[in-house]
Amino acid sequence: MSVAKRLLFAALGPILLIIAACWSYWAYRQYRANLAPIPRNATSVVRIHIDGLIRDIAWNWWWNNGAYRDTTEHRSTIFSLKQWKQPGIRIPANLFLYQVDHVLSDQFPDVYFGSVVVDDPTAFTARLQDDLGMEIHTNHQGTVASSERTLVVIQPKRALFALSLRKPKADLVLLTDVLTSVLQRYGGNVAVSKSDFREIMRDGGQVSARGEHRFSIDFKKGVATFNGRYEMDYMPARLEGTPRFADSNAVSLWVQDNLTAFLSGRQFDIGDHTLQGDSLLSHYKGRAVLEWKGTITQQDTMINYDYDDNFDPVETLEVIDKPVPEIYCSLGADTALIGYLQAQGVLEIPDNTVNRGVLPLFRVGVSALPPDYVQFHTASEPLAPPVPSGQGRDLLYLRVDFNKLLISDFLPVVAPHLQAFDVLELSGKPATDNRAVINGTLRMKNPQLHSLVQLLETYEGR
């Protein structure tokens, strides 16, 4: 054997040994993580592939180190080893969240439960209090940390937590007893790898879920992708072609659904006015089109107060011009819908504009358009809905170009997080057995930086 070959084999040996050791460690962490306990009667499970996220972010940082510097040439604090603190918990390869039908499910329908192994309860408590601003108190169940949407009970070896996707109607502390007993009371606990949800371990996506619906999310360099399968209460017998939307639109939306699940049996109280969901359903014809074109100017009246010669306050009216979104929302509906809205006082007669008590921010007109559309529009005149393309036949189509939106049109709490987004596209198509497949792509402003890092940076310092 030549000297060159001997040197090659000598170099390859350690490299292959390192690769084998890394792969074995990776596989062992996956095995250990999949032993995480969940209730045997869990109704849905979400897996967050933490090792996969860390690997992709580290790889992205290695090859795009310059993208991790801000405009002042300082490294981003989101990805800074210097600012790393001991979390006090063992970072799992996979983090599993689950839902279960419990005694307070009606009060907290959007709560997910989970648990992590604790190495240092004191350090973990300090992180929750100092970095996340959670309130801390101690009782017989352990150290309890709480915020508006998060509840954590820290015990000597394990921390149990509950997360609410929406703002709960009641204080999450009410869930403390449920949280501390959720792994024993609801059918006992079982390892994820031996549960009815064990197939989730093989699902793609850095975030994946199984239950009534299935979905997965992947965060990559400059883009995040979404894929889901959803059970439908209703599938249209005949789908119309997706409209040809103008590329200049800031937002384009097309929906084909009967909205029964959303409207049936519900009552909507809007100020002093009431709308019955069943009455709305009787006029709705299963499709909706929305176009956000940009910005227009509307005139509004502002009330001011001045003082006369006797220094008595005098009310004055000032006509001002203000920018508002140029939106056209067309509902497939019969014209009797307009009459119903007039009868409920939502529309003012005779100009058919939405009552300012219902929508005070800007003026919205309502017009009947062929074929079988009722359009709500902020412009002075309606706009014909885009014609069907004859292709696509989507149940859902959504495209949002964030570059064409005025960030000031959004609530201050939302606006800062939209600045990292470039374009969002979603499409939903029918599948078998009354299911719909939803695919989506969110492109970020920075095409080099990992999409999850960009999302996290929108929350930094807020």
For 92-145, the pLDDT digits (tens) are 999 999 999 998 988 999 899 999 999 999 999 999 998 888 999 988 888 999
For the segment 323-366, what is each residue's pLDDT rounded down to a tens digit?
Answer: 889 999 999 999 999 999 999 999 998 888 998 888 888 899 99
**pTM for this structure?**
0.82
Instruction: Give 195's pLDDT tier (boundaries 50, 70, 90).
Output: very high
Average pLDDT, the chain: 85
DSSP code of 155?
A: -
Average pLDDT over residues 5-32: 76
Reply yes or no on whether the pLDDT at 77 is more than 60.
Answer: no
Query: What backbone torsions phi and psi does residue 10 show, to the nearest 5 degrees?
Result: -65, -35
The pLDDT, as a whole number, for residue 288 is: 93
Whether residue 369 contacts residue 383, with contact meaning beta carbons closer than 8 Å, is answered with no
Residue 430 burial (10 A CB sphere; 0-12, 13-18, 19+): middle
3-class secondary-structure state, position 234: coil
Whether 146 shows a pLDDT value over 90: the answer reads yes
Rounded to whole angstroms, what are the CA distances from 293 to 221, 285, 380, 399, 440? 30, 24, 14, 12, 22
Tokens of 241: 């072609």
Residue 434: predicted pLDDT? 76
**pLDDT at residue number 408:** 61
pLDDT number for residue 412 = 59
Separation CA 211–CA 242 (nearest Å) = 30
| Cβ-contact 409, 191 below 8 angstroms | no
Please, which residues have CB within 8 angstroms of residue 194's CB and are 6 or more apart in sequence? none
| 214: nearest Cα among 45, 70, 353 | 45
Residue 1 pLDDT class (50, 70, 90 cuts): low
Which residue would you say has higher pLDDT here, 374 or 387?
A: 374
What pLDDT is attached to residue 6? Answer: 65
At 335, phi and psi to the nearest 5? -70, -15
Give CA separation, 59 vs 56, 84, 93, 197, 223, in Å: 5, 18, 17, 30, 15
